[in-house]
């Protein structure tokens, strides 16, 4: 993020030192704002929700299986041999490890699927951004969202520098207020009660 900010500052200062005769027009887009209004984004969000629901169902099933076996283990008669107890404990530990691994893998898988589904949408935004920039003589274009991890890279701008609505119109989409639904995002399966470790 720091490198992006330094590069942006370098570009801005570089533009400031250009000869006055050079025609420079700077614009920016809010990619998240555009993405949230694309009809295709709704299908992406639906696909991600369906996949997340499948992961969540399987996760809950694994947790229930662990809890049922833990309850059975805790009800073992006092006369149960140590060999059987140790075997049950090992089974419970393996189940707990499997649950944790599944939760991590499902989150990674969901994030990869999000990136895969969004790639063609982002490419469409980029292509239309270039078309709008050429048609409106923008020399440089920033992405307003690029620095959102801390603060936006673009801190001050004239109102007519915002190309977001122009890009939406170029794609045949009527711009909506900025409060429109957020772009589809991936998340891990909803947290379920963490399996308790088997009592020894």
Instruction: Specify the number of domains making up the chain.
Output: 1
Task: With respect to residue 87, please indicate whether it lies within any of the assigned structural domains.
Answer: yes
Task: With respect to residue 200, please indicate whether it lies within any of the assigned structural domains.
Answer: no
What is the Cα–Cα distance from 102 to 188, expressed in whole angstroms? 11
Q: Is the pLDDT of residue 187 over 50?
A: no
pTM to 2 decimals? 0.69
pLDDT in tens, 146-172: 655 555 566 567 778 889 999 999 999
CATH number of the domain where residue 73 is located: 3.30.910.20
Task: With respect to residue 176, please indicate whether it lies within any of the assigned structural domains.
Answer: no
Task: With respect to residue 182, please indicate whether it lies within any of the assigned structural domains.
Answer: no
Our measurement of the distance from residue 20's CA atom to the centroid of its chain's CA atoms, rounded to an integer in Å, reads 42
Task: With respect to residue 141, please indicate whether it lies within any of the assigned structural domains.
Answer: yes
What is the Cα–Cα distance from 139 to 162, expressed in whole angstroms? 13
CB 190 within 8 A of CB 56: yes
Task: With respect to residue 39, please indicate whether it lies within any of the assigned structural domains.
Answer: yes
Coil, strand or helix at 27: strand
CB 33 within 8 A of CB 180: yes
pLDDT in tens, 20-69: 455 788 898 988 899 999 999 999 999 999 999 999 999 999 999 999 99
Range of the domain at 163: 2-170
Read off the tokens for 2. 């720091």
Task: With respect to residue 196, please indicate whether it lies within any of the assigned structural domains.
Answer: no
Task: With respect to residue 179, please indicate whether it lies within any of the assigned structural domains.
Answer: no
Q: How confident is the model at residue 115 (pLDDT cuts 50, 70, 90)?
A: very high
């Amino acid at each position: 993020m720091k490198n992006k900010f330094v590069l942006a500052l370098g570009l801005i200062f570089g533009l400031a030192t250009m000869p006055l005769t050079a025609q420079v027009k700077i614009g920016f887009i809010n990619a998240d704002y555009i993405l949230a209004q694309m009809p295709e984004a709704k299908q992406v969000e639906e696909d991600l929700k369906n996949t997340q629901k499948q992961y969540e169902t399987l996760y809950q099933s694994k947790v229930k299986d662990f809890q049922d076996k833990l309850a059975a283990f805790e009800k073992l008669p006092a006369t149960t041999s140590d060999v059987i107890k140790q075997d049950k404990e090992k089974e419970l530990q393996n189940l707990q490890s499997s649950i944790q691994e599944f939760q991590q893998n499902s989150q990674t898988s969901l994030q990869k699927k999000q990136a895969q589904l969004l790639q063609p949408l982002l490419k469409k935004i980029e292509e239309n951004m270039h078309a709008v920039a050429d048609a409106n003589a923008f020399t440089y274009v920033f992405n307003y969202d690029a620095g959102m991890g801390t603060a936006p890279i673009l801190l001050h701008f004239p109102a007519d520098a915002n190309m977001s609505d122009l890009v939406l119109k170029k794609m045949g989409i009527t711009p909506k207020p900025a409060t429109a639904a957020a772009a589809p995002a991936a998340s891990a399966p909803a947290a379920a009660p963490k399996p308790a470790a088997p009592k020894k």
